[in-house]
Amino acid sequence: MSASLNYKSFSKEQQTMDNLEKQLICPICLEMFTKPVVILPCQHNLCRKCASDIFQASNPYLPTRGGSTVASGGRFRCPSCRHEVVLDRHGIYGLQRNLLVENIIDIYKQESTRPEKKSDQPLCEEHEDERINIYCLNCEVPTCSLCKVFGAHKDCQVAPLTHVFQRQKSELSDGIAVLVGSNDRVQGVINQLQDTCTIETGFEDPPLQGQAAASGSGNGADSEPARHVFSFSWLNSLNE
């Protein structure tokens, strides 16, 4: 529960920022509007540079200077709705700047670059701005004081969250120590078993093994119980 306490609010904020960013994308360069931003008579917005590029593409024979059209008048179509935009004698520079969109872009960039706020304590999902500070012993979940007084945990036993955290941390540390100790003991037994297998492998002299093979299974059968007796006697010593 604690991992998802602020997830909903974070998700809503992120969704709002994503939707806002979509509204600030120029339909020509497909990037965020570059100031100055001009608004067309059809109420759609363009970067002034992009509007100038469209106008030059629609009027290729008009004289230009420094990459900008200097002739007055002219027309082009809005790339969003295809509405015909008729320019006055000022040309592209006669289009009104959309200062509102420019201000929104500035605010958006500030919010996007601002470091994410980190709360010292998570907040309750049921009670806005109420910090999680207690732990419900019955439901085994962290909660807030208002949930204990008025909410779903009013009939439950609770304890301070910090106390429960320290207790569970101590129990977890003890459990890890027990596991580490058990692992060491098991590893010791494994090492001893490996040593025993090595001893048993070299227990019988190779020439004697050859003689046993030549004379049948007599000597081999006698040596086999000896190895097993050695193994079981050693294993019994481990249990003592």
Q: What does the domain layout of the chain look like in residue ranges?
A: 2-113, 163-239
**Among the ranges 43-47, 132-136, 177-181, 233-237, which has the highest mean pLDDT value?**
43-47
Q: Above 60 in pLDDT, residue 237?
A: no
Render pLDDT for 103-126 as a digit per residue (tens, 0 to 9).
999 988 888 777 665 556 677 777
Output the six-digit token pair for 118.
Answer: 């980190």
Q: What pLDDT does 152 receive?
A: 79
Q: What pLDDT does 41 receive?
A: 92
- Alpha-carbon distance of 88 to 70, in angstroms, equals 12
Superfamily of domain 2-113: Zinc/RING finger domain, C3HC4 (zinc finger) (3.30.40.10)
Average pLDDT of every residue of the chain: 75
Q: What pLDDT does 16 receive?
A: 76
